[in-house]
Structure 1
Amino acid sequence: MSPFWEKFFYMSTFLAQGSSFLNPRAYAIMHRMHHAYSDTEKDPHSPHFFKDVIGMMVQTKNIYLDYVRFKIEPEPAFRDNYPTWPLIDRIGDLWITRSLFIVFYIAFYIQFAEYWWMFLLLPIHFLMGPIHGAVVNWCGHKYGYSNYDNHDHSKNTLPLDFLMLGELFQNNHHKKPNNVNFALKWYEFDPSYPIIKLMHHLRIIRLRKV
């Protein structure tokens, strides 16, 4: 991306994730660790070392916070080549910022929710980032089918992954981590891929291979 588009999407990520904003640097480090140590004890979020998804989420949170607060440094192989914006990172990690987003969500529901049960969706909005990560890493390494032997437990949970926009093709992704199209078989569809190709043709991003 150009500097402009990098800042544009950085800010868009902050506004979209809101109360569950994830620091891109910390996320990138953990994602690289996940690929390097997939389903081993060094994997920051493998479901095969926890009794339930809550335990995995807590462990992931603790490792994430260590990188956000620079309590530990990643191995050299996992450093650099990720976007940073210190001001947004600081603002996004403040409890006052997260609380203001939560107040906004509640006010939005009060204004527009038509039925009482809709308010039960609020916790999902509060924790969308961690919930998304938990679904992808728990389901994507426990349930589904495998196209490839990646020497881990990665699975493709759904052949038409409209729920997680392609991210539940974990087996495919671990086989070819640099492929922007997570769907590799004829019966699989990654809904993010056409959008990525469109952004490439519009020169918003540049793909190394098309």
Structure 2
Amino acid sequence: MNSASTSSTGKGSSFSTPLLFMHVCCAGVFFTKGGWPAFGIFIAMYLLHVFALTAGYHRYFSHKSFKTSRAFQFVLALLGTTAAQRDPLWWASHHRMHHQNADTEEDIHSPKRHGFWWAHMGWVMNRRLSETRFDKVRDFAKFPELLWLNRHPFVPVVIAASLLAASGALLNALRPDWGVTGPQFLFYGFFLSTVAVYHVTFCINSVAHLYGKRRFEVDDDSRNNWLLGLLAMGEGWHNNHHRYAVCARQGFRWWEIDLSYLLLRVLQWLHIVWDIREPPRAVLNEGRAS
């Protein structure tokens, strides 16, 4: 790695005690009762957090691809923060930098420029990149509640973990025949689910810039990856996204399942979100021709 890329990304030694702690705690599932309750809470928390990150952190806070109320804006921010990927201001500021410099030396997580490991999670653990670029998110930095989450990103995480454990213990006391326990909800619903969400979302930065198909000839290495499209609730149609980043829909063809977009449509029907931005017809036609 030359000095220019090291300087631009702040690349250096990367280590994160909280991230290591989250991974180590996943081993608790081997000492905890499994079964359908464990699987159910794992899936429920996985889907909740992926949606909060894809629809909230990414499509709303990073790209403003739809509008909503200040109250639901905070709901998206709070739920996203419980996924333990920092707060929306930090997340969006770095993501906007990525789009400004995608797969160039200035890209903070390009696998082409800095390697797979750095793009996948090395950059997340680097302390030089832990600061929020407030100059990139002035539109949202004006909200005090979002600034509070920026200053205290671990508080919602601890509360969420505690509530999951307490809920499991309460269900065990009220309905022991259900087979639910506090440790089960904690280890499957929080630690294992959160780490699974980590790696699925991290794969958009790493895998989706290396493996998949390129429908659009854009100035970066983004690719459409069908598996990530399913696992990340639509984020895997990454080449589509880099062609027209400001729309809420990333699956441009009928068979490109984009669950986050479909849920946003349901929220629009409920009048919780509105002005959902669609890809222009010219872009869609360009994709059919390529």
Give 1:78-117 correspondences, 5 Å limit: 78-82=136-140, 85-87=143-145, 89-91=147-149, 93=152, 95=154, 97-105=156-164, 112=180
Check conservation: 2:216, 2:243, Cα contact below 8 A.
yes
Across the two proteins, how many residue pairs are aligned to each other?
Answer: 200
RMSD, aligned α-carbons: 3.5
- Alpha-carbon spacing, 1:126–1:185, altered in 2? closer, same or farther (3 Å): closer
Aligned residue identity for 1:174:
H
TM-score in terms of structure 2 length: 0.56
TM-score in terms of structure 1 length: 0.73
Check conservation: 2:249, 2:277, Cα contact below 8 A.
no
Matched, 1:66 2:131: yes
- Alpha-carbon spacing, 1:37–1:91, altered in 2? closer, same or farther (3 Å): closer
Q: Which has a greater percent of helix?
A: 2
Shift of 1:205: 1.9
Aligned residue identity for 2:148:
R
1:137 equivalent in structure 2: 205
User: How many angstroms apart in 2 are the aligned matches of 1:109 and 1:183?
Assistant: 37
Farther-moved stretch of structure 1 (91-100 vs 169-178): 91-100
1:48 equivalent in structure 2: 112
Identity %, equivalent residues: 21
Name structure 2 gaps, 5 residues minimum: 1-66, 173-179, 279-290
User: How many angstroms apart in 1 are the aligned matches of 2:160 and 2:245?
Assistant: 33
Choose 1 or 2 for highest CA Rg: 2
User: How many angstroms apart in 1 are the aligned matches of 2:77 and 2:93?
Assistant: 17
Farther-moved stretch of structure 1 (143-152 vs 44-53): 44-53
Aligned residue identity for 1:150:
V
- Alpha-carbon spacing, 1:30–1:39, altered in 2? closer, same or farther (3 Å): same
Name structure 1 gaps, 5 residues minimum: none
Shift of 1:119: 4.3
Shift of 1:135: 1.8
1:203 equivalent in structure 2: 271
User: How many angstroms apart in 1 are the aligned matches of 2:233 and 2:89?
Assistant: 22
- Alpha-carbon spacing, 1:178–1:23, altered in 2? closer, same or farther (3 Å): same
Check conservation: 2:251, 2:257, Cα contact below 8 A.
yes
Give 1:130-209 correspondences, 5 Å limit: 130-158=198-226, 161-207=229-275, 209=277
- Alpha-carbon spacing, 1:51–1:108, altered in 2? closer, same or farther (3 Å): farther
Shift of 1:39: 0.9
Check conservation: 2:222, 2:239, Cα contact below 8 A.
yes
Aligned residue identity for 2:260:
S
Check conservation: 1:38, 1:152, Cα contact below 8 A.
yes
Shift of 1:129: 6.0
